[in-house]
Amino acid sequence: MSGNEKRKLKRLKRRQKMKEKKHNSKIKAAAIGVFAFGIALSLVIAMMPGDSRQWTVLGAQIVDDPAAGDNSGICGFYVFETGSTYTSNLTSGTSGYLGGGSAINATDIDTPHTTSFDLIVWARFNDTDSDLEISYTRCNITWTGNIESTDPPDATHVIATGAFLWVNYVWDEAAAGYTIDRNEKDVAIDDIIIRGFK
């Protein structure tokens, strides 16, 4: 190999090494850039405020006039024959009605012992307590001997939306209904609680 050829070969090797160094430095720069972005992103996420809402028992739960006021609350309590339809506002004129009504509080309801029945809580939720989303509402009742430990409803029906989210919560013993024995009396609904996520 001549002297010229040796010099050319050395120059080619030097150029190749320089290209490799540049390529490696680009890879390192990219890796550092991605790492820095990851740190920045994690800092942004860490600094974002967390969702501090929690399930909250709503105060002043009885709504004396469902057409007035702006608070969330229980608008009525009903007893209907099992198998009735609960997808709209209930009244004493609705098919299957056995007892109850709106703005009911500490009221006796007579129910025939020969009829299986469902229990319905009619409630409304404002935007502050529920975001007007059914997933942010809860209702529980306790009825010693039948419904225990503030059981959740068997079915939930959104009946209207707007300024409020209007809901019928239904306890129907898995569609079988409840019954009372002959001469059984003073069966108390011990507690009705509604909660919002706020």
**Span 64-99, pLDDT tens digits:** 888 899 999 999 999 999 999 999 999 999 999 999
Instruction: Give the model confidence (pLDDT) of 115-125 as tens digits.
Output: 999 999 999 99
User: Are 154 and 173 spatial neighbours (Cβ–Cβ below 8 Å)?
Assistant: yes
More confident residue, 178 or 103: 178
- Residue appearing with tokens 């707007």: 162
Distance CA 11, CA 16 (A): 9
Average pLDDT over residues 162-178: 94
Query: Does the pLDDT value for residue 139 go beyond 90?
Result: yes
CA neighbor of 170 nearest in space, from 139, 149, 191: 139
Distance CA 150, CA 36 (A): 51
Q: Where are the beta strands (DSSP E) in 33-189?
A: 55-57, 73-81, 97-102, 117-125, 137-143, 147-151, 155-161, 165-171
Dihedral sign, Cα of residue 65, residue 67, residue 73, residue 76: positive
Query: Does the pLDDT value for residue 24 go beyond 60?
Result: no
DSSP state of 188: -
Average pLDDT over residues 22-29: 52
Residues 193, 103, 94: CA angle, nearest 5 degrees: 105
User: Are 189 and 146 spatial neighbours (Cβ–Cβ below 8 Å)?
Assistant: no
More confident residue, 35 or 162: 162
pTM for the full model?
A: 0.71
Average pLDDT over residues 3-22: 60
User: Are 139 and 121 spatial neighbours (Cβ–Cβ below 8 Å)?
Assistant: yes
Q: What is the pLDDT of residue 37?
A: 44
